[in-house]
Amino acid sequence: MNHLSCLTWALCFSILSLAIAQAPCPKNQSTPLLQFKQGLIISPPRLQSWIPNSDCCKWEGIACNNLTGFVQKLNLSGLGQLPISGNISFSLFNLTHLEYLDLSFNNFSSSSIPPSIGQLKGLVYLNLSNSGFSGQIPKEISELISLVHLDLSTSSLISSLSSTPLKLEDPDFKTLVESLKSLKELRLDRLNLSSSSSQWCQALASLPRLTIVSLQMCSLSGPFDKSLQKLVSLSEIHLDGNSLASTIPDWFASFSYLEELHLSLCDLEGEFPAQIFQLPRLQMLDVSYNRRLSGYFPYFPPNSPIKNLLVSNTNFLGPLPDSIDNLGSLIQLELNDCSFNGSIPVTLSNIAELLSVDLSFNKLSGGIPSFGSQRIQEIDLSHNLLTGSIPTSLGELRNLTRLNLKNNQLIGSIPSSLFTLPSLKVLDLSENGLDSSVPDFQAPQSKLETLDLSENGLNGEIPGSIFSISNLKVLILSSNKFNGTLHLESFLPKSVNLSNLDLSRNNLVIEFRSLNSSNGNESFPHLSTLKLRSCNITKFPDFIKTQERLKDLDLSDNLLEGEIPNWLWKLSLDQLNLSKNQLQELGQLANPSSSSLALDLHSNHFSGPPFLPSAASFLDYSNNLFRSSIPESIGIYLNFSIFLSLSNNNLSGKIPSSLCNGKNLQVLDLSHNNLIGSIPECLFTIDSLIVLNLRENMLQGSIPDRFRSSSDLRTLNFNGNQLQGEVPHSLSNCSNLELLDLGNNNFSGTFPSSLGSLTHLRVLVLRSNQLHGSISDTGSPGFSALQILDLSGNNFSGPMPNEFFQNWKAMQEESQTNSTQILQYGFLYLSNLYYLDMVTVTMKGQNLEFQKILTILTAIDISNNAFVGVIPSQIGGLKGLRVLNMSRNTLTGPIPDSIGDLRQLESLDLSKNHLSGSIPLGLSTLSFLSVVNLSWNNLSGTIPKGYQFQTFNAASFANNPGLCGYPLDVACELDVACEQEQKNSTSNEEAKDHSLEFVLGCGLGFVMGGGLVCGPLLVWKKGRRCCFEWVDKKLYQLAKQDGSMGRRRRRKK
């Protein structure tokens, strides 16, 4: 009976379920849907099931209530499918039982969100994201009080395509969301809220059930308002791309349900709360690209759930903790561009799920650890201080696709197993100290696409197996010690996909046979970049003729001579570098097909007038034998030019005013020629000009006072001409000026004090002119960035102002001696082209021309003027100073002791002044000091001993009547007395004992008595010097007396 009852109930339940599942779609549901479809533009097979007189509950994207047949769900998302476009019919909003509406990832670019959407009072889920809707968000959405999920966000791509993106003005953000008390998920990415911290934070705080909030790139401002603490259920926070300019509050660590925290590109500052790393549910943390955000990694607790840890491009620092292996679920670790130091923890090898590691651009040292995860796909340890050899264990990571160890200090050999990794696509070992040969290998199935071994010490022959990698696209082997002869026609045809080849700067001899048939060239790969710099090439490779895709060709520093072949000008090149060869003829210079051509022909033997292509962005014809004048029509060739250098030739005549047609010129260098006449005024109206170098010509006239505030000038070099007049006051308008060299001209007037307002000015050279007057009354001391000042050979007078030395902040920084930063300007984005400034500095007694100005080169030269007074003691504050020349003035007083604080000083010249007093002992402790000239002064006392002072010759101290001691021939009195005492002491042992007793007794008496008098003076520098001289004199008198007594005793005997 019970069994029968169970069967009956089961049968009834089945019948009831079947009846419910088969509830048909009412016509008042299908009709609005078909009307909605008519307004859409659809690409098959989308919505093909939407057929009249059929059950709409079975249509694509539709779900109905099983009991009533009313449509409850409409999902027409275009994600992964062909997008729908057209207009939204109002009939859609007759589906009043709708609870779920998803129209995301479509293209309703001509539509706004209809206000009728407010009729769908039962909506729980609304997703209109990335569908191109524009205009004002209707306030009726705020009436959908049942909403749990609201997504109106827009991706960056969709946002860029929309001419009128969604906006939220009426209602504002607060009005939109304050009634949606059921909301759990809110996504409004890239919707301009323009809301202050208190407004948007308090608006969110009014949604007590909120678990996910995503307001990326919404123009929100900070700081975080404490009202956010009310959202205790938050599991995801996405605020990337807002300029919050705020610290992260400690109370973020109280969000115990938090699983994802996204705060990248938020201009965050201060220290990141370390407790956040220890949240029990945190899986994703991204605070990357906040340069002012600092922090450190704490101890990671066991079983931490973190899967993605991204703090790149921040100021996080300190060591990586050994507890990092407690992040057992870690998949992605991005710590690049930070300040982490110490070694990479070996415990990293214990993380079995790791897929990607980026520790590049830090200060990590020590060896490379093993990586235990066999799933790992990407490893980037580049730009660190890693040492040792490349571990062979890296060759066991079968899923590795990218390995970058660039710019470290690795040595030894390359494991051959790296070349045979089955999944590896990118291998970059460049800029290390690898010093072995490259092993031969067999990898017929290799997926390697990029191989960069440049800037190492690799030697031997290049193995042919490298060229047998069929997928290889980029091969860079430059700047090594590879040797042997390489026949390109034997290797290149094997690299069928190769597009970028760089074999420059090795010990290779590149050879190739002339290919007479076009078929021979067809087997070569289609290269886009070919660099064979310094490869002992004697003729242009024939196979280049057919390289129609070639954009970048570098054959510089070879043995090419004669004429440039005409076929080379017919290639559609973007960059052509033939510099440092022995070429004599340009050939039939054709018009390039690209206006972006960068043409470098410097350091050849070209002669005659300089012919230019009709359109080029970069033209370097320097260091050749071009003669005659610059063509008057040169301006018509400069419409697209950014760089033009004709320096170091034999050009004569005037500077043509048509140069001013180059409205895009950033660098104009006509230095070291024989140009005459005046400088065209229009040159100073080219606002794009960054560098104007007319150095070492015979130009005359004055500099027009027409520099504009819109000028971008950074280098102005007119040294070695015959220019006259005053230094233009309008130069102070050039706010970006870094180098001003007007030396060796005929400028007159007073010191250009207005230049002190230029906060970027690093080099100021006014030497060998006719400038005069005091520089103390400047009005604006400034010059805070100055690192080289040369005022020598003028008629400046008066005292050196103390405030100058106090304001030169750049010289007050004690720089590192191994710094390689130089003054240079990059141009032509992604071209690696730079213009290097140069300057002449009188250093170590010679005029040295610096072609590269290191930022650590600091020098002051005020020699050959009429400065008077004392040397200010404030000069000792210039801790980074390396060259100091104050010779040939009328300076008086002592050499300040503070000069002994200039620990970086290499060259000191104070000769031909009226300095007095003794040489400070501190000078003898300067270990870098290699040149000293204190001659022709009134110095006195003993020359200090120790360190570099032992190496200087007598000329360094000559013509100081009061100086004595080595290396001068004048011995000090105390030295003479000591020498005489040694002679007397060896004549008679008894007399020696007697004399010793007498001298010690008398000496101690005098010293103790003198000490009572001089002791209090020891805190006074002058008193201390006088006291020491008095003691020396008395000891000398005692020694003389003792010697005469010895002689009398011997006569008695």
* This prediction's pTM: 0.81
Type and span of the H or E element at 550:
none
Compare 546 and 356 and report the one with higher pLDDT. 356
Q: Which are the contacts of 15, defined by CB distance < 8 A and separation ≥ 6? A: none
| Domain shared by 658 and 762, yes or no | yes
Q: Which are the contacts of 860, defined by CB distance < 8 A and separation ≥ 6? A: 789, 811, 878, 881, 883, 884, 885, 886
What 8-state DSSP symbol labels residue 631? P
- Residue 890 in any domain: the answer is yes
Query: Region 13-31: what's the mean pLDDT?
Result: 69
**Joined tokens for residue 681:** 């005024």
pLDDT > 70: percent of the chain: 83
- Say what the pLDDT of residue 516 is: 56
| Domain shared by 949 and 1002, yes or no | no
| Domain shared by 937 and 1011, yes or no | no
Q: Which are the contacts of 467, defined by CB distance < 8 A and separation ≥ 6? A: 475, 491, 492, 494, 495
| Domain shared by 841 and 730, yes or no | yes
Q: Which are the contacts of 1041, defined by CB distance < 8 A and separation ≥ 6? A: none
- Residue 743 in any domain: the answer is yes
Q: Which domain holds residue 704?
A: 638-964
Taking only the tens place, the pLDDT of each residue in 748-760 is 999 998 898 899 9
- Residue 468 in any domain: the answer is no
Neighbours of 329 (CB within 10 A): 16
Instruction: Please say whether the beta carbons of 55 and 63 come within 8 A.
Output: no
Q: Give the pLDDT band (50/70/90) at residue 813.
A: confident
Give strand pairing partners of 669: 645, 693
Say how many domains are in the chain.
Answer: 3
Nearest 5°: phi and psi at 37?
A: -65, -35
| Domain shared by 729 and 768, yes or no | yes
| Domain shared by 996 and 959, yes or no | no
Segment of 38-42, 279-283, 771-775 carrying the highest mean pLDDT: 279-283
Task: Evaluate if residue 136 carries a pLDDT over 60.
Answer: yes
- Say what the pLDDT of residue 1028 is: 45
Compute the residue count for the chain: 1053
| Domain shared by 1046 and 943, yes or no | no
- Residue 228 in any domain: the answer is no
| Domain shared by 929 and 1007, yes or no | no
Nearest 5°: phi and psi at 62?
A: -110, 140
| Domain shared by 848 and 877, yes or no | yes
Q: Cα–Cα–Cα angle for 716, 722, 726, nearest 5°?
A: 65
Q: How far apart are CA 416 and CA 436, in angstroms?
A: 12
Evaluate the CA torsion angle 79, 84, 89, 94 in order and state its sign.
Answer: negative
Nearest 5°: phi and psi at 778?
A: -95, -20
Domain boundary among 964, 996, 1016: 964
Task: Evaluate if residue 842 carries a pLDDT over 80.
Answer: no
Q: How far apart are CA 874 and CA 49, in angstroms?
A: 88
Q: Give the pLDDT band (50/70/90) at residue 857.
A: confident
Q: How far apart are CA 235 and CA 227, in angstroms?
A: 17
Domain boundary among 935, 964, 993: 964
Question: For 575, what's the count of Cα atoms within 13 Å in the CB-facing half-sphere?
Answer: 17
| Domain shared by 684 and 555, yes or no | no
Compare 38 and 1040 and report the one with higher pLDDT. 38
- Residue 980 in any domain: the answer is no
Query: Region 407-412: what's the mean pLDDT?
Result: 97
- Residue 40 in any domain: the answer is no
Domain harbouring 707, CATH code: 3.80.10.10
Strand pairing class (85-86; 40-41): antiparallel
Q: H helices then E strands: how many in the chain?
A: 12, 70
Domain boundary among 964, 996, 1015: 964
- Residue 538 in any domain: the answer is no
Q: How far apart are CA 606 and CA 583, in angstroms?
A: 6
- Residue 460 in any domain: the answer is no
pLDDT > 90: percent of the chain: 65
- Say what the pLDDT of residue 137 is: 92
Query: Region 83-105: what's the mean pLDDT?
Result: 94
- Say what the pLDDT of residue 614 is: 76
Query: Region 268-282: what's the mean pLDDT?
Result: 96
| Domain shared by 599 and 663, yes or no | no
| Domain shared by 579 and 669, yes or no | no
- Say what the pLDDT of residue 905 is: 92
